[in-house]
Amino acid sequence: MYVLDDGGDLTHCIYKKYPNVFKYIKGIVEESVTGVHRLYQLSKAGKLCVPAMNVNDSVTKQKFDNLYCCRESILDGLKRTTDVMFGGKQVVVCGYGEVGKGCCAALKALGSIVYVTEIDPICALQACMDGFRVVKLSQVIRHVDIVITCTGNKNVVGREYLDRMKNGCIVCNMGHSNTEIDVASLHTPELTWEHVRPQVDHVIWPDGKKIILLAEGRLLNLSCSTVPTFVLSITATTQALALIELYNATEGRYKQDVYLLPKKMGKNRKKRQDIRSKI
């Protein structure tokens, strides 16, 4: 039996609730950034009890899904939900990884003024070299028209930032699941929610200020736009290849660790740590 996971939730659930099932599991194939991160944490803690394949870091998945797909679907998602004109708009993109790079490139191409926030110095440098202003969220939050999260992190846009946004600011998430914007903090008695249409809500402050929250903080492109079947096909195929590799591997070839796909199946992205060590 093998686990085919996207986000690490199934793996997490088995670890927490049904650890005995691992007796029958021969390996895990994980597709997402966050799920892979969790697997590396388990491995580091010595708690990973089967081999796991990191599909996310294969270039076929990483580029077509995270970078190129998001470069197209960010605009599609924003247009379908808000009809906003991008030229001249001030946008802040949180996170300049693959998804962030795609979002920034698309918005810049349509004439938006794009700011980037980053916690990784190499990614911050890349954003800078690509012509984006690297800022702290607190520096720009009062005047931006659109806020986009793509970090894979939790509560990147918390209530303190939501309180300071200007009237009409559009807020959406392109990163992990529904965790990047602290939507729960907006469910308080002093704020009014106005459901405009599916996937679009106005959240209104007592002074009349409103923000436009898309997909209630869930992934904008998966909730509000189309994802090309070509991309879905590429990611599913890469996962299938990883499963076949685990299934066909000779006894002992893969130990209780996280592995990248063998080169013949998909070139792997160079780990950021490796790049850093060369600077």
Rounded to whole angstroms, the Cα distance separating 187 from 141 reads: 21
Q: For ligand NAD, which is the closer residue by CB, 155 or 256?
A: 155
Name the minimum Å distance from CB 67 to ligand NAD: 8
Name the minimum Å distance from CB 123 to ligand NAD: 4
Q: For ligand NAD, which is the closer residue by CB, 30 or 145?
A: 30
Q: H-helix or E-strand containing 204?
A: strand 200-204
Site residues (CB under 6 A) for ligand NAD, limited to 142-201: 150-153, 156, 174-176
Site residues (CB under 6 A) for ligand NAD, limited to 41-70: 65-66, 69-70
The reply on whether position 266 binds ligand NAD by CB under 6 A is no
Concatenated DSSP letters of 131-188? TPEE--HHHHTTT-SEEEE-SS-SSSB-HHHHHHSPTT-EEEE-SSTTTSB-GGGG-S
Q: For ligand NAD, which is the closer residue by CB, 72 or 256?
A: 72
Q: For ligand NAD, which is the closer residue by CB, 53 or 254?
A: 53
Name the minimum Å distance from CB 78 to ligand NAD: 13
Site residues (CB under 6 A) for ligand NAD, limited to 115-144: 117-120, 123
Name the minimum Å distance from CB 221 to ligand NAD: 5
Name the minimum Å distance from CB 72 to ligand NAD: 10
Q: Find the residue with minimal CB distance to ligand NAD.
A: 97
What secondary structure letter does DSSP report for 112? Answer: -
Determine how β-strand 200-204 pairs with β-strand 192-197: antiparallel
Question: What are the contacts of 75-78 at 24+ separation with CB within 8 A?
Answer: 75/106, 75/107, 75/110, 76/221, 76/224, 76/225, 76/226, 77/172, 77/174, 77/214, 77/220, 77/221, 77/223, 77/224, 77/225, 78/146, 78/170, 78/172, 78/214, 78/220
Name the minimum Å distance from CB 153 to ligand NAD: 4
Residue among 171, 174, 156, 217 nearest 67 (CA): 174
Q: For ligand NAD, which is the closer residue by CB, 112 or 126?
A: 126
Name the minimum Å distance from CB 24 to ligand NAD: 28
Give the residues lining the site for ligand NAD (CB under 6 A): 32-34, 65-66, 69-70, 94-100, 117-120, 123, 150-153, 156, 174-176, 219, 221-222
